[in-house]
Each structure stands twice: as structure tokens, then as C-alpha cells.
Structure 1
């Protein structure tokens, strides 16, 4: 009896884009689903025509933050980083969340006792001893988080320069990379969903804040407090910190709620919201369980294309940004 060959896991499956072209179904763009399909085609054309993203003239350090949980913060960190690296840029991701979900999604080991960001900010270990390359994406490196980081908040209280320990370690690392001819183009710091010393360290180390906001009820809940906290850190610890980017996530073109929330956010922050909204996507939700970004899991999905376009917008906005 002939056995049926096992289906390979998504990690070992060839990219859809490299093995075959997906036929685009006909659609009526007067309906929400039709408009969504039309947007998918447009995004696919736009991002595929851009082979590489433009390199910034200085290292841009983003803090990905939102005190409200479940807004797509880690998903955004992982996929924006993946998009930038896949388009030829050098990217460092710093996982500051003790849960380590960003490390998991980028296939970086982070079991208890694994050296990572805890050793950097508590013990003062050099980052070049701790940063790990992402095995799936060239040019992407990760400073992982382990459960050891859960106790860092308490330990930092008694340390000298407790708010700026990450900044000091990061600046030494970035300088060393630049001197070696391997300058990092983008740093993305994924924060825990609370304003403790870990998040404060991220905001002292960062220069730009990227805020993901889900297109759902209570989307703006806590946003005012986050902005006040950023203003406080700017006033006392890091005057160069600025909210430059807001990304709408979990957008559902079929609902009035999503459209209403998107309109409200764009009205309040007209110069900071990216034109691209990240749609709800099954493939985006599945990817982390395979320790992948959605771009390596299914590069032709709506989520992958949207994150690529959002990353392109970020690089374009960088042309007007002032360096450190």
C-alpha cells in the first residue's frame, strides 16, 4: 500500500511568489470586499516593483508602544522589521517584553537562562555578545527576551542610571557596528504593555515612537495617557523623542466600526497616521505559531503586502526626519 507523502510544514514550503503566480479573481469594487480585493492588487503591484527600500542617512530607533494590550504591537514590530530587512536594510529588533513573543515569532531561542536583553540592562553585558541573527531573514538581528526579564523591573530600581541603561548599551553597539562597516539602519524596540522601567528604558533609547492602534471599539482608550507619558519622558529624560508614526491595525473593510475608528484616528492625528491600514488576516495570525513573520509565512497574503507597504511609507517619511 502506497502511503501519501506528508505535507511539508509552512516553514519548509516554497514561497507562493516563487513557485507560481496567483490568479486574481474578478471582483466588484463597489462592495467592501471588492474594494479590498482591488487594494490587494494595487499593493501587490506597488511593493513588488520596489526591489529595495532607501537607506536612511542615520540609524532610526523606533519604540513600538501602546499601553493597551492586544493592539498588534508585537505583530507590528515583527513584520515591519521583516519587511525592512527583506527589502535590503539592516535591522535590529529589541524584545523588551518578558513574554518573549517577538523572539518566538522571529525564531530566536529564548528559554529561561538564555542571555539577552536582561543581561544587557541589568548586568551591563555588551550587546555584541547577546544579539542573534534571525535564521530566516538576512540582515535582521534580534536582542531576545527571556522570562528572566520579568524580575528586571525590581532590580533596576536600585541600579545607577536605571532609566538609560538600554540607551547606553545600544549606542555603544550601534557605534561599533558603524565602525565595522555594518551600520544598522533601523532599530525597533517592542515594549511591554505597561509604563514601567523597561518601557522607560525603551523611550530613553528611542527617537521615534510607533503606535499601533486597532480599528475596534475602545481603540483610543489609554492613548491620552500614553501621550502624556511620552511628553513627560521628553521633558525630563529624552527631549529628542517624538511620536512620528501611527499604524492602524485589525482593519475590517466590511464593518462601519473599522471605518469609523480609522476616520477618528486620522482626524486626531492627520500628519502621523500611515495611509496603509493593516487588515485582519488569518495568515498574519497563523504565522507566529510557525515562528515566522507573515512575510516569510505567506508573502502574497494581504497582511504581508500591507506590512510591506507600511514599511515603505516609514522609509519614505524618513527622508524628512532629522538625525540625532
Structure 2
């Protein structure tokens, strides 16, 4: 049965979508069957794997509204083993349209259960807010992976996110766990990045991944070309880091 990981942080600009795209691609490169679900109305995970978000016939928005079946939403990307359920700006209206709908927190979960057995990993890219879409991701997921930028305010919002995860566990998904925290945008030239890593590791009880994602120009360029970093620049520091993170994620599954 596929393992479902929500990639979440309500703070924007922390490398959340970058991590969702490139971890998915690195897992697929290692022979794992991967489904990436774009649950962010910005649709950046969709365009980041080379799919034109405004030309997709059946998006996650149509799925949430019950206008299509999940099987009809799956897009086959040009990358082996990597499939996608796409998103675009239409999804921004979903929260309003779901007012009064029963069990609206479980819409994605019910849909994903139908195809879960087809994949080794299902990664959900959450929006940068703790809204109904993020709650849907957390009721669906087994674990939450939290990217944190190596900056002064790294811990800001983390406690709120952990509080939300705990609430979801208490009330909606008793099996939800924290997959781990991964540091992004690490700059080895600054003392600040090192201090942030040490501070978080000293103060956070949750699992912190050994892999640290560096601040990398090629990593920043890749999405605009519609390629994961493992394809765009296979030998870059960013590509090697996401491969290492994929190994850690796989090894957690095996342990």
C-alpha cells in the first residue's frame, strides 16, 4: 500500500513546492511509483513537472467538487514512474464552494483510497496556509514532511503547524505522524544557516533529516523549465541532495 506524505508549512517561500517536486522525482528515479498531488491553487508543482496547468481537463478542483473521478485526474508526466494530479487557480474557490458540505475534510482521502495501491509514494503539495485544503491533505496522509528555510525566523510558525498536526491527529486522523523536518536553502558561507540548523535540532523533538538542501541556482532555475532538478541538472548539488533525501525517506519506510 502506498505511503502518503503531505509536504506542508504555512510559511511561504520555504522550499515546500521545490521539495514536493524534487523528492517526487528523486523517488521516481529510484524506481518507485510516485503520484504527486498539487493541492496549491498556485499550481507551481504542476508546471514544475512540465504540465501546462491551464490546459488540464480534470484538476484536483474538479475532483473536490465531485465532478470527476480520481482515475480521470491522473496526468502522465514525461518522467518515468511520476504521475500528477494537477491544480490551477480554480482551486482557490474550493473552500467557499464546500461550505455546508458534509465530511468536507475527507474528500481527498476518500478519492485517494481508490488508487493508493497503485503507488509506492503519494506526495501532496499543500498551500502555504492552514486551510481546508491543508486539512484535507492531513486527513489523507500518513505523515507530514516539513521544509524549513535556514533563516532567522525558521522556528516561527513551526509550533503552530505542529499544533495543527496534533489537532488533526486528535479529531480527524489518529494515525497522522510527523515524517520529519528538512532544512532548505542552506548557505554554507553564512554562520546564520549553521546556527539555525543547530537551534532547531536542539529545540525540536521531532525527527530532523540529516540531508540539508543547499541554496542552489540550478535548483531555483529548474521549475521555470518544467523539469525536476534531477533532470534539469543531474549532477548539481541540489539534485544530489534530493536523491539523498529520497534515500532517507525510503529507509524510514524499511526501518
TM-score, with normalisation over the residues of structure 1? Answer: 0.77
Cα distance in structure 1, aligned partners of 2:57 and 2:46: 11
Contact 1:66-1:193 at 8 Å conserved across structures: yes
**Runs of 4+ residues over 3 Å off in structure 1:** none
Q: Tell me, what secondary structure is at the counterpart of 2:198?
A: helix
Q: Tell me, what secondary structure is at the counterpart of 1:164?
A: helix
Write out aligned runs for 1:25-44 (5 A): none
Select the residue among 274, 277, 296 that pairs with 2:212.
277
Other-structure match for 1:71: 14
Is 1:238 the equivalent of 2:173? yes
C-alpha displacement of 1:269: 3.4
Cα distance in structure 1, aligned partners of 2:77 and 2:57: 15
Other-structure match for 1:156: 98
Q: Which has the larger radius of gyration?
A: 1
Is 1:214 the equivalent of 2:214? no
C-alpha displacement of 1:76: 0.2
Q: Cα gap change, 1:90/1:254 in structure 2, threshold over 3 Å: closer, same or farther? A: same
Which consecutive unaligned segments of at least 5 residues does structure 2 have?
A: none
Cα distance in structure 2, aligned partners of 1:271 and 1:69: 21
Contact 1:112-1:147 at 8 Å conserved across structures: no
Contact 1:95-1:103 at 8 Å conserved across structures: yes
Q: Cα gap change, 1:82/1:119 in structure 2, threshold over 3 Å: closer, same or farther? A: same
Cα distance in structure 1, aligned partners of 2:65 and 2:135: 14
Select the residue among 271, 288, 298 that pairs with 2:233.
298
Cα distance in structure 1, aligned partners of 2:236 and 2:205: 28
Contact 1:120-1:127 at 8 Å conserved across structures: yes
1:271-315 deviations in Å (ceiling 9; x for gaps): 511111000000000001101111110000000000100110110
Select the residue among 191, 194, 199 that pairs with 2:129.
194
Q: Tell me, what secondary structure is at the counterpart of 2:105?
A: coil
C-alpha displacement of 1:160: 2.0
Contact 2:56-2:86 at 8 Å conserved across structures: no
Other-structure match for 2:54: 111
Contact 1:113-1:148 at 8 Å conserved across structures: no
Q: Cα gap change, 1:271/1:65 in structure 2, threshold over 3 Å: closer, same or farther? A: closer
Which consecutive unaligned segments of at least 5 residues does structure 1 have?
A: 1-57
Contact 2:17-2:125 at 8 Å conserved across structures: yes
Other-structure match for 1:31: none
RMSD: 1.2
C-alpha displacement of 1:147: 1.3
C-alpha displacement of 1:173: 2.0
TM-score, with normalisation over the residues of structure 2? Answer: 0.97
Other-structure match for 1:138: 80
